[in-house]
Chain A
């Protein structure tokens, strides 16, 4: 795919890494899902683009609350 078209995806993945290296590293929690929320976000953005992948990642984050049960939940 065209590098220009892929740019938003890289931006999104960069944001996830920014989170991982800063706040994510500070709060020692392991996600209850597999793959973890941040990994899910990277995969979703890579596969579906920034808009749809970002929305999928947002929905996953909402599901990753103390009342859910977690488990294996790959990007479809």
Chain B
């Protein structure tokens, strides 16, 4: 199926192949890396470009963690109706001004890179006119990144690393996913490994690198999320008018209209103590 999809999109992606060829060539010729390390470098550059998205992700992960128990409650409540569950979650996100990290565009942006690399490696010898004895190996266990992954025992090692890294990155990318969903992320690499085994070893190398980046990013993010206190979903100061939509349809959070601040506090100009916050935190645990 993948092959059919790739064939159908050849004209579109031949341009991308050109770009990929130039990038790889730059790393190999100008920077002086081996071809295999050029692929790793390209992957790292792609992921670095996506870092601004990661920062957004950290912020939304913080607010997601803050609201995790309430979201779990919603998921439990509509366990048997996925659509209703999604709708309610969306409503919850909107009401609490959460911007979920998951969005389709960044995910999709990696696909052209993958396809470009696929074609570049497929036409590797004609693309680069590499000499017969050129070094296409990687860390002494992959003899050639342009060969099929299963052509050498080293490829199987790479595939095992791939499955492990894919599972790990799955865990990091979906910290709030349900159990059944997590199972899919665990099983999927095991299925996909049979497809990916037919690809050139360099492509698996790309995939392993990008997964390891995801895992590393996840580790750092997790640490940051734990260290920095999560910002309240809505920054409220004494000047923000009292919330008026709080009671509407938001039964999960016992969050009535805010009590009027004590006149004394208003008169002295002291920053108003947000009592709502305390109430929330006690309700969370």
Contacts and interface: CB of A to CB of B under 8 A. Distances in A.
A61 B192 CA distance: 25
B134 to A, nearest CB: 31
Contact of B103 (A34, A65, A71): A65
A64 B103 contact: yes
A2 interface: no
A54 to B, nearest CB: 13
Nearest to B187: A25
B139 to A, nearest CB: 24
A21 interface: yes
A60 B185 CA distance: 25
Contacts of A64: 103-105
Nearest to A60: B104
A69 B104 contact: no
Interface residues of A, number: 29
B102 A30 contact: yes
A20 to B, nearest CB: 11
A7 interface: no
Contact of B56 (A18, A26, A67, A69): A67
A66 B56 contact: yes
A60 to B, nearest CB: 8
B94 A28 contact: no
A70 B93 contact: yes
Interface in B182-196: 182, 184-185, 188-189, 192, 195
Given A22-B192, A22-B195, A66-B53, A30 B105 contact: no
A28 B177 contact: yes
A30 B189 CA distance: 18
Given A18-B2, A69-B99, A25 B90 contact: no
Given A18-B5, A68-B99, 12 more contacts: A22-B1, A22-B5, A22-B192, A29-B103, A32-B102, A65-B105, A66-B99, A68-B103, A70-B99, A70-B103, A71-B93, A72-B90
Interface of A: 15, 18, 21-23, 25-34, 36-38, 61-62, 64-72
Interface of B: 1-2, 4-5, 53, 56-57, 60, 83, 86-87, 90-91, 93-94, 99-108, 111, 114, 166, 170, 173-174, 177, 181-182, 184-185, 188-189, 192, 195
18 contacts: A18-B4, A28-B174, A28-B182, A29-B103, A30-B102, A30-B174, A31-B103, A34-B86, A61-B105, A64-B105, A65-B103, A65-B105, A66-B53, A68-B103, A69-B99, A70-B90, A70-B94, A71-B94
